Amino acid sequence: NAGVTQTPKFQVLKTGQSMTLQCAQDMNHNSMYWYRQDPGMGLRLIYYSASEGTTDKGEVPNGYNVSRLNKREFSLRLESAAPSQTSVYFCASRSGDRLYGYTFGSGTRLTVV
Amino acid sequence: GNSVTQMEGPVTLSEEAFLTINCTYTATGYPSLFWYVQYPGEGLQLLLKATKADDKGSNKGFEATYRKETTSFHLEKGSVQVSDSAVYFCALSGQGGKLIFGQGTELSVKP
């Protein structure tokens, strides 16, 4: 089925460990996004990529890096995980027209101990 | 800057009750407005949208009207079902097409 695929679905890290969250979409969308979801705070934008080859910071970029590997893939890296990064992470994509909504992946639940 | 404010939850209703979830926004220009729904353990799904003033978005019995004069986009459904239990997010598409979300409202429908 067409959509946004995220891996892994669950992950537990120790403080200071690093990891990369993977995201791929097969809808030929130009824009891709990484959000984190925390209780009572809705979704907050971490980084986004308006098109292949470009990335920009969102509302909460500290502690994260991203790579837009090609049009399909947009990865999120935690270089040195902290307990404050315990969250559910969602990747999303959108076609070029801002009138259309996003398509979201099913999320990665990350716990940092 | 742009922002979205939703009524706090959780909201608990009996089956077949009328639902309203309030959403107001602050934005420059003319944003598009959206409602997303998140079922337990899943990602967000687009429920409905409106792209200009006085537009009404509708889907699965849910409706919301883009009210520019009151900067609101309240979600309504005439008769809720147990299967509507989920978290509902109001969002606007602002500068560069980035979505800005409200904090979410949890709805629980009891049989």
Per-residue pLDDT tens over the stretch A73-94: 999 999 999 999 999 999 999 9
Q: Tens of pLDDT along B66-110?
A: 999 999 999 999 999 999 999 999 999 876 778 899 999 999 999
Question: Quick check: A31 and B97 CB within 8 A?
Answer: yes
Task: Confirm or reject contact between B1 and chain A (CB < 8 A).
Answer: no
Q: What is the structure's pLDDT at A40?
A: 80
What pLDDT does A41 receive?
82
Minimal-distance CA residue of chain B relative to A33: B98
CB atoms within 10 A of CB A101: 22
How big is the A-B interface in CB pairs under 8 Å? 60
Judge: B43–A106 Cβ closer than 8 Å, yes or no: yes
Nearest C-alpha neighbor of A78 from the set A11, A33, A29:
A11
Residue B85 distance to chain A (closest CA, Å): 17
Q: What is the pLDDT of residue B60?
A: 95
pLDDT confidence of B23, banded at 50, 70, 90?
very high
**Which A-chain residues 24-53 have CB contacts (< 8 A) with chain B?**
31, 33, 35, 40-45, 48, 50
Q: What are phi and psi of B84, to 5 degrees?
A: -85, -5
Of B4, B44, B46, the CB nearest to A90: B44
Give the mean pLDDT of chain A: 93
* Strands (DSSP E) found in chain A: 4-7, 10-13, 19-25, 31-37, 43-49, 56-57, 64-68, 74-78, 87-94, 103-104, 108-112
* pLDDT at res. A99: 66
B111 to chain A nearest CA, in Å?
Answer: 26
What percent of chain A clears pLDDT 70, i.e. is strictly above it? 95
Which of chain B's residues have a Cβ under 8 Å away from the Cβ of A44?
Answer: 101
Yes or no: say if B103 and B3 are a contact pair by the CB < 8 Å rule.
no
Edge-to-edge strand order for the sheet containing A74-78?
A4-7, A19-25, A74-78, A64-68
Number of alpha carbons in the 13 Å side-chain half-sphere of residue A62:
2
Q: What pLDDT is attached to residue A88?
A: 96
Residue A12 has pLDDT above 90, yes or no: yes
d(CA A83, nearest CA chain B) in Å: 21
By the 8 A CB rule, do A92 and B97 touch? no
